[in-house]
Amino acid sequence: MKKNEKIIIFILLVVLIIAIIAFVVNQNKNGEELNNENITEENNLVEENNTVEEEFTQLFQITSEDVIGNQAPFDFDVSVKDIYSTLKTGATMQIIPKQYFSFPVKLLDFLVEREVTTLIWAVAALCIITTLKGFEYKIPTKVKKVIFSGEVMPVKHLNLWREALPDAMYVNVYGPTEITCNCTYYVVDREFAPGEVLPIGRAFPNEKVFL
């Protein structure tokens, strides 16, 4: 697929997302005539969406100055955080070519050249760089936020990331299924020894967790 075609597809997706948001807002306004029960249900839906639009960006200090390195394809739930964080804050999103995740040199070159500051990646994607010793080649020093999910982050690989980028914020986000996406988060605030397991942390605002 040519670069221009990718840009057109991205623009169409953004327009579609904006149209969906506008529809939800309009439905919410029209719902003023509904009974209290239905109004409560609609408000719950809007509050759920605000978890991404409001809480996620505020919790992790994502702003218009950030450059988000998009790893997840748009048909994968993880990409929601990239898309909505970009739309909410006016941040820049750089769509990383999928094939780069098989070649850490190209991937790291991309992160450095595009001055990426924020990674919201699957654990496996982060581990590719450390497994293939990518940091011996180059360190993307602009990266300040590393948010990961999808599976348990091996402490060995987390420590390699923290060694390469000691000033970055690392966040373990957890969700039991694709439907919930992420419902808890833990900002890594101490050293972890090999063999330890990262906690899943606390519930996002507007979320409740039952164990």
Transcribe 21-46 into DSSP letters: HHHHHHHHHHGGGS-HHHHHHHHHHH
Q: Would you state the structure tokens that stand for residue 30, as one six-digit string?
A: 């029209």
Predicted confidence at residue 32, as pLDDT, reads 46
Dihedral-angle region of residue 111 (phi above 0 means left; psi in -120 to 50 means alpha; beta otherwise): alpha
Q: Round to whole Å and give the CA distance between 205 and 90.
A: 22
Residues 6+ apart with CB under 8 A from 200: 172, 174, 184, 186
Look-up: residue for tokens 């090999």?
194
d(CA 28, CA 34) in angstroms, rounded, equals 10
Q: Which residues of the chain have pLDDT under 70?
A: 1-8, 12, 15-16, 19, 22-53, 178-180
3-state SS, residue 175:
coil
Assessment of whether the complete model's pTM goes beyond 0.85: no
How far apart, in whole angstroms, are the C-alpha atoms of residue 169 and residue 185?
A: 12
Angle at 162 between CA 103 and CA 84, to 5 degrees: 70
> d(Cα 209, Cα 96) in Å, to the nearest integer?
33
Count of CB atoms situated within 10 Å of the CB of 163: 11
Residue 24 vs residues 12, 20, 135, 189, 207: alpha-carbon distances, Å: 18, 6, 44, 38, 20
Phi-psi region of 116 (alpha: psi -120 to 50; beta: other; left: phi over 0): beta
